[in-house]
Amino acid sequence: MSELKKTVGIIGLGLIGGSMAIDLKKRGFAGRVLGVEADKVAAQAAMTIGLADEMVSLEDCVDRSDIIVLAVPVGAAVKMLPEILDRIHSGAEALSSASPRDPIRANAPEGASAPDKKIVIDVCSTKEHICAAVKYHPARKQFVCTHPMAGTEYSGPWAAQPGLFDGRACIFADQEESAPWAVQDILELYSCLNMRPIFMSSSSHDVHTAYVSHISHVTSFALALTVLDKEKDEKHIFDLASGGFSSTVRLAKSNADMWIPILTQNHNNVLQVMDTYIEKMQQFRDAVASYDEDALRKLIEDANKIKRIIR
């Protein structure tokens, strides 16, 4: 990787994109951060907070950045990624057919990396669909598919914070489909964010996250709906809510725009985990209904084995 600081373009300056912008700039990985934000209110907020050095158009961002971070909900990301790679690829093709004195070189934006040296990454929570969308793209090797496993239940530029990624895992999915030099550069990017890389296939990623992330969100949403329903009859139902309730329901604050595409794109895995989960709930229900203390003891003591996993 060049000793020169990179120009990093971030498309979507929300919780993830904005938090990356803060630390990549502050910790010296990015010399310059270019921001792209379709939502005008969010764009204004991102500038006010100082997340980017400059807000630019999507095209400018692609043309002028060394590394392009696609940090939009996965539904939009799956549509945008092929278009970004198209633009990079046609730039690289034009460049390779041009002589050194050709106007295309002379007109290149100042300080921009050569199209064939640009890298695009995504940071989405599901990986199979986005990898499938560019599997045969001629610029596929310049795309590195990643999922930094960090976040909060908040969203938008207001939710961006320093240190969000410190000490957490970052998945690299199907990394053998990317150019080794590109993977190396992105490993350095995540190393600057203090993340430890884990390599796996995109399909394996989607199974894992269905079980240790997506289902937790659905159980929280369902819990919120259950108690909010009861509140219609019992106005003070929340008066007694304590730490345990808050902890299990916290994720129900999560954003629909982010979670609808995750749940639909990871359809098969999410359905499988939901079906197992509903089955377990039903076993609990039946044990309670029949006052079966032995069955309840077995279920609870089996569940207690989670102590081995979490602090």
Site for a copy of itself in 182-201 (CB under 8 A): 198
What are the beta bridge partners of residue 32?
7
Q: Which is nearer to a copy of itself, 59 or 275 (CB)?
A: 275
**Contacting a copy of itself (CB under 8 A), which of 191, 201, 203, 248?**
248
Q: Residue 220 in contact with residue 98, Cβ under 8 Å? A: no
Residue 101 binds to a copy of itself (criterion: CB under 8 A): no
Residue 219 binds to a copy of itself (criterion: CB under 8 A): yes
Residue 76 binds to a copy of itself (criterion: CB under 8 A): no
**Contacting a copy of itself (CB under 8 A), which of 1, 41, 94, 225?**
225
Residue 135 binds to a copy of itself (criterion: CB under 8 A): no
Residue 226 binds to a copy of itself (criterion: CB under 8 A): yes
**Contacting a copy of itself (CB under 8 A), which of 51, 123, 150, 187?**
150
Measuring CA to CA, which residue among 85, 71, 165 is closest to residue 119?
Answer: 85
CA distance 146 to 173: 6
Please report, for the chain, how many H helices and E strands are present, in that order. 13, 8
CA distance 89 to 136: 13
Residue with token string 């990787």: 1
Q: Which is nearer to a copy of itself, 52 or 249 (CB)?
A: 249
Q: Which is nearer to a copy of itself, 65 or 254 (CB)?
A: 254
Instruction: Please list every residue from 265 through 294 that binds a copy of itself, using CB under 8 A.
Output: 267, 270-271, 273-278, 280-282, 284-285, 288-289, 291, 293
Q: Which long-range contacts (CB under 8 A, 24 or more apart) does 207-213 make?
A: 207/269, 209/125, 209/126, 209/147, 209/266, 210/266, 210/269, 210/270, 210/272, 210/273, 211/269, 211/273, 213/125, 213/149
Q: Which is nearer to a copy of itself, 12 or 75 (CB)?
A: 75
Residue with token string 């081995």: 308
Residue 158 binds to a copy of itself (criterion: CB under 8 A): no
